[in-house]
Amino acid sequence: MAVTTAQPIELYTWSTPNGWKIPIMLEECGLPYRVVPVNIGKGEQMAPDFLAISPNNKIPAIVDPDGPGGAPISVFESGAILQYLGRKTGCLYPSDERARTAVDEWLFWQVGGLGPMLGQAHHFRIYAQDKIPYAIERFTEEAKRLYGVLDRRLATHEYLADAYSIADIAALT
Protein backbone atom coordinates (compact mmCIF):
# COMPACT_ATOMS: atom_id res chain seq x y z
CA MET A 1 0.00 0.00 0.00
CA ALA A 2 1.77 3.14 -1.18
CA VAL A 3 1.32 6.36 0.70
CA THR A 4 1.95 9.52 -1.24
CA THR A 5 3.58 12.47 0.42
CA ALA A 6 4.05 16.00 -0.84
CA GLN A 7 7.76 15.84 -0.05
CA PRO A 8 10.03 12.81 -0.05
CA ILE A 9 11.27 11.26 3.16
CA GLU A 10 14.88 12.20 3.87
CA LEU A 11 16.94 9.05 4.45
CA TYR A 12 20.25 9.59 6.23
CA THR A 13 22.35 6.52 5.54
CA TRP A 14 25.57 4.94 4.36
CA SER A 15 26.29 1.69 2.52
CA THR A 16 26.32 -0.73 5.46
CA PRO A 17 24.01 -3.62 6.38
CA ASN A 18 21.99 -1.37 8.71
CA GLY A 19 22.00 1.32 6.05
CA TRP A 20 20.37 -1.02 3.51
CA LYS A 21 17.31 -1.92 5.60
CA ILE A 22 15.42 1.33 5.17
CA PRO A 23 15.84 1.86 1.41
CA ILE A 24 14.54 -1.70 0.93
CA MET A 25 11.46 -0.85 3.03
CA LEU A 26 10.91 2.48 1.27
CA GLU A 27 11.09 0.76 -2.12
CA GLU A 28 8.78 -2.07 -1.02
CA CYS A 29 6.20 0.45 0.18
CA GLY A 30 6.53 2.75 -2.82
CA LEU A 31 7.42 5.77 -0.70
CA PRO A 32 9.35 8.62 -2.29
CA TYR A 33 12.64 9.35 -0.56
CA ARG A 34 15.84 11.29 -0.95
CA VAL A 35 19.14 9.82 0.23
CA VAL A 36 21.33 12.07 2.36
CA PRO A 37 24.72 10.31 2.54
CA VAL A 38 26.36 10.24 5.97
CA ASN A 39 29.96 9.15 5.43
CA ILE A 40 30.72 7.27 8.62
CA GLY A 41 34.30 6.68 7.46
CA LYS A 42 34.84 10.44 7.67
CA GLY A 43 32.95 10.78 10.96
CA GLU A 44 30.01 12.70 9.47
CA GLN A 45 27.68 10.91 11.92
CA MET A 46 29.21 13.08 14.66
CA ALA A 47 28.10 16.37 13.06
CA PRO A 48 25.73 18.45 15.22
CA ASP A 49 23.11 18.57 12.44
CA PHE A 50 23.02 14.79 12.26
CA LEU A 51 23.03 14.49 16.06
CA ALA A 52 19.78 16.50 16.07
CA ILE A 53 18.20 13.76 13.93
CA SER A 54 19.95 10.72 15.40
CA PRO A 55 21.00 11.27 19.04
CA ASN A 56 22.89 7.95 18.96
CA ASN A 57 25.09 9.21 16.07
CA LYS A 58 24.30 6.11 14.02
CA ILE A 59 22.76 5.52 10.63
CA PRO A 60 20.10 5.05 9.42
CA ALA A 61 17.76 7.85 10.36
CA ILE A 62 14.86 9.48 8.56
CA VAL A 63 13.00 12.75 8.56
CA ASP A 64 9.43 12.36 7.37
CA PRO A 65 8.08 15.80 6.44
CA ASP A 66 4.56 14.34 6.56
CA GLY A 67 4.68 12.74 9.99
CA PRO A 68 1.83 12.24 12.45
CA GLY A 69 -0.65 15.09 12.29
CA GLY A 70 1.14 16.39 9.20
CA ALA A 71 4.13 17.60 11.24
CA PRO A 72 7.70 16.48 10.45
CA ILE A 73 9.16 13.68 12.53
CA SER A 74 12.70 12.36 12.90
CA VAL A 75 13.13 8.64 13.57
CA PHE A 76 16.41 6.86 14.31
CA GLU A 77 17.34 3.17 14.79
CA SER A 78 16.53 0.78 11.95
CA GLY A 79 13.95 -1.25 13.90
CA ALA A 80 12.04 1.85 14.98
CA ILE A 81 12.11 3.22 11.43
CA LEU A 82 10.82 -0.07 10.00
CA GLN A 83 7.97 -0.10 12.52
CA TYR A 84 7.15 3.56 11.88
CA LEU A 85 7.05 3.10 8.11
CA GLY A 86 5.00 -0.08 8.50
CA ARG A 87 2.44 1.68 10.68
CA LYS A 88 2.37 4.71 8.37
CA THR A 89 1.74 2.68 5.23
CA GLY A 90 0.23 -0.61 6.37
CA CYS A 91 3.03 -2.19 4.35
CA LEU A 92 4.82 -5.32 5.66
CA TYR A 93 3.67 -4.72 9.24
CA PRO A 94 0.34 -6.38 10.08
CA SER A 95 -2.36 -4.61 12.05
CA ASP A 96 -3.57 -7.85 13.68
CA GLU A 97 -2.00 -7.95 17.15
CA ARG A 98 -1.05 -11.65 17.05
CA ALA A 99 0.63 -11.29 13.64
CA ARG A 100 2.31 -8.01 14.65
CA THR A 101 3.67 -9.63 17.82
CA ALA A 102 5.24 -12.41 15.73
CA VAL A 103 6.86 -9.80 13.46
CA ASP A 104 8.10 -7.82 16.47
CA GLU A 105 9.65 -10.92 18.05
CA TRP A 106 11.76 -11.60 14.97
CA LEU A 107 12.52 -7.91 14.39
CA PHE A 108 13.85 -7.54 17.93
CA TRP A 109 15.73 -10.84 17.59
CA GLN A 110 17.59 -9.31 14.65
CA VAL A 111 18.22 -5.80 15.97
CA GLY A 112 19.10 -6.98 19.47
CA GLY A 113 20.90 -10.22 18.69
CA LEU A 114 21.82 -11.22 15.16
CA GLY A 115 22.92 -7.79 13.93
CA PRO A 116 25.08 -6.84 16.92
CA MET A 117 26.64 -10.29 17.26
CA LEU A 118 27.56 -10.47 13.58
CA GLY A 119 29.02 -6.98 13.87
CA GLN A 120 31.18 -8.00 16.81
CA ALA A 121 32.23 -11.27 15.16
CA HIS A 122 33.31 -9.45 12.01
CA HIS A 123 35.08 -6.76 14.01
CA PHE A 124 37.18 -9.13 16.09
CA ARG A 125 37.81 -11.62 13.26
CA ILE A 126 38.62 -9.11 10.50
CA TYR A 127 39.13 -5.51 11.63
CA ALA A 128 40.62 -5.54 15.13
CA GLN A 129 44.33 -4.79 15.09
CA ASP A 130 44.88 -6.99 18.13
CA LYS A 131 43.54 -10.50 17.58
CA ILE A 132 41.96 -11.51 20.89
CA PRO A 133 41.24 -15.25 20.80
CA TYR A 134 38.54 -15.12 23.50
CA ALA A 135 36.62 -12.36 21.69
CA ILE A 136 36.96 -14.07 18.32
CA GLU A 137 35.69 -17.38 19.72
CA ARG A 138 32.91 -15.81 21.82
CA PHE A 139 31.36 -13.76 19.04
CA THR A 140 31.93 -16.37 16.32
CA GLU A 141 30.18 -19.05 18.39
CA GLU A 142 27.27 -16.73 19.18
CA ALA A 143 26.96 -15.84 15.49
CA LYS A 144 26.86 -19.56 14.66
CA ARG A 145 24.18 -20.11 17.30
CA LEU A 146 22.05 -17.30 15.89
CA TYR A 147 22.48 -18.60 12.34
CA GLY A 148 21.23 -21.92 13.71
CA VAL A 149 18.11 -20.21 15.05
CA LEU A 150 17.54 -18.66 11.63
CA ASP A 151 18.15 -21.95 9.81
CA ARG A 152 15.73 -23.86 12.05
CA ARG A 153 13.02 -21.23 11.62
CA LEU A 154 13.34 -21.03 7.86
CA ALA A 155 13.42 -24.82 7.55
CA THR A 156 9.75 -24.84 8.57
CA HIS A 157 8.53 -21.36 7.56
CA GLU A 158 8.80 -19.42 4.32
CA TYR A 159 9.30 -16.18 6.27
CA LEU A 160 10.34 -15.36 9.81
CA ALA A 161 6.77 -14.49 10.79
CA ASP A 162 3.73 -15.79 8.89
CA ALA A 163 4.25 -13.53 5.86
CA TYR A 164 6.96 -11.35 4.33
CA SER A 165 7.48 -8.48 6.76
CA ILE A 166 9.83 -5.91 8.23
CA ALA A 167 11.41 -8.75 10.22
CA ASP A 168 12.59 -10.35 6.99
CA ILE A 169 14.02 -7.06 5.73
CA ALA A 170 15.91 -6.62 8.99
CA ALA A 171 17.29 -10.16 8.95
CA LEU A 172 18.29 -9.96 5.29
CA THR A 173 20.82 -7.29 6.03
Total residues belonging to the chain:
173
pLDDT in tens, the chain (173 residues): 555 556 999 999 999 999 999 999 999 999 999 999 999 999 999 999 999 999 999 999 999 999 999 999 999 999 999 999 999 999 999 999 999 999 999 999 999 999 999 999 999 999 999 999 999 999 999 999 999 999 999 999 999 999 999 999 999 98
Burial of 119 from C-beta contacts in 10 A (0-12 / 13-18 / 19+): middle
Which overall architecture, per CATH, does domain 97-172 show? Answer: Up-down Bundle (1.20)
Location of each CATH 1.20.1050.10 domain in the chain: 97-172
Location of each CATH 3.40.30.10 domain in the chain: 9-89
Instruction: Give Rg (Cα) of the chain.
Output: 17
**Count of CB atoms within 10 A of residue 44's CB?**
17
Residues 11/35, Cβ–Cβ less than 8 Å: yes
**Would you call 77 helix, strand, or coil by DSSP?**
coil
What sign does the CA torsion over 117, 108, 161, 87 have?
negative
Angle between helices 115-122 and 17-29 (to 10 degrees): 140
Superfamily of the domain at 9-89: Glutaredoxin (3.40.30.10)
